[in-house]
């Protein structure tokens, strides 16, 4: 199977309103070019320096998304061009994104990452922590970030019911935040959930954005 046909197959299997982020981490530029040639424009990476290096050599109309856990000191590598950071998991990180975005005269889209999995290795807020942050005066004074929704990763398991229930929880968090902090805010609309192994379930549970790597580019 070619990269182009893998993408075509996924596109045919997801609703038109669901965005496809092609996760190209660890994969060479040549593979991204192949995906680009088939029309894919949105790519996701999980390491800031790798993302910056690829951005530099690839077509400038690619929309780059950061999907992996970030140390604040890495924001500077991507602040000039990154379109969406899916993995905001602390006020400290958000403050740094705001600061670097301001330096470039930009507004950077952000998703709040929630910890919905059983594994402790995964990052993210719980609902209370996120609401506390959103209530803080520090958050309310940030003008160069835009919170566009939520992101989460389900537990890596064959138990479909568990995965479904974790995605359902994330969707409920999205709805609760929409009500409590983003009502009437048209930018707050994204629920980033679903990877190669579980994106069908994620879509059934309300995903608007799937992040798919190995089904497109092969295993890592
Ligand atoms: C690697 C990664 C993906 C894609 O995983 P696949 O199973 O290869 O589709 C999605 N989201 C995040 C946060 C990742 O790190």
Point out the ligand 1 atom lying closest to the alpha carbon of residue 199.
9
pLDDT value, residue 43: 99
Point out the ligand 1 atom lying closest to the alpha carbon of residue 46.
15
pLDDT value, residue 122: 79
pLDDT value, residue 111: 98
Q: Which of 213, 216, 219 to mutate to test the pocket of ligand 1 (most atoms within 8 A of CB)?
A: 213
Residue nearest atom 10 of ligand 1, based on CA coordinates: 211
Residue nearest atom 12 of ligand 1, based on CA coordinates: 67
HEC letters along the chain: CCHHHHHHHHHHHCCCCCEEEEECCCCCHHHHHHHHHCCCCEEEECCHHHHHHHHHHCCCCCEEEECCCCCHHHHHHCCCCCCEEEEECCHHHHHHHHHHHHHCCCCEEEEEEECCCCCCCCCCECHHHHHHHHHCHHHHCCCCEEEEEEEECCCCCCCHHHHHHHHHHHHHHHHHHHHHHCCCCCCCCEEECCCCCCHHHHHHCCCCEEEECHHHHCCC
Residuewise pLDDT in 10s, the chain (220 residues): 899 999 999 999 999 999 999 999 999 999 999 999 999 999 999 999 999 999 999 999 999 999 999 999 999 999 999 999 999 999 999 999 999 999 999 999 999 999 999 988 879 999 999 999 999 999 999 999 999 999 999 999 999 999 999 999 999 999 999 999 999 999 999 999 999 999 999 999 999 999 999 999 999 9
Point out the ligand 1 atom lying closest to the alpha carbon of residue 220.
8
Q: Which of 23, 25, 154, 190 to mutate to test the pocket of ligand 1 (most atoms within 8 A of CB)?
A: 23
pLDDT value, residue 120: 85
| Helix 160-181, helix 127-135: angle, nearest 10 | 20
pLDDT value, residue 121: 80
Q: How far is the CA of 116 from the centre of ligand 1 (A)?
A: 15
């Amino acid at each position: 199977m070619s990269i182009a046909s893998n993408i075509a197959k996924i596109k045919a299997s997801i609703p038109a309103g669901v965005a496809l982020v092609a996760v190209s981490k660890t994969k060479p530029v040549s593979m991204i070019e192949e995906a680009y040639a088939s029309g894919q424009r949105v790519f996701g990476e999980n390491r800031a320096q790798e993302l910056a290096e690829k951005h530099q050599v690839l077509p400038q109309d690619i929309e780059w998304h950061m999907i992996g856990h970030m140390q604040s000191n890495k924001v500077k590598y991507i602040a000039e061009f990154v379109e969406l950071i899916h993995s905001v998991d602390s006020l400290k990180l958000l403050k740094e994104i705001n600061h670097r975005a301001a330096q470039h005269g930009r507004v950077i889209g952000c998703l709040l990452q929630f910890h919905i999995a059983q594994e402790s290795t995964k990052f993210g807020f719980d609902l209370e922590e996120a609401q506390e942050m959103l209530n803080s005066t520090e958050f309310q004074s940030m003008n160069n970030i835009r919170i566009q929704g939520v992101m989460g990763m389900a537990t890596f398991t064959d138990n479909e019911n568990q995965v479904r229930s974790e995605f359902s929880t994330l969707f409920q968090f999205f709805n609760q935040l929409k009500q409590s902090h983003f009502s009437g805010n048209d930018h707050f609309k994204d629920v980033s959930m679903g990877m190669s192994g579980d994106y069908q379930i994620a879509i059934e549970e309300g995903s608007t954005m799937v992040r798919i790597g190995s089904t497109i580019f092969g295993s890592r």
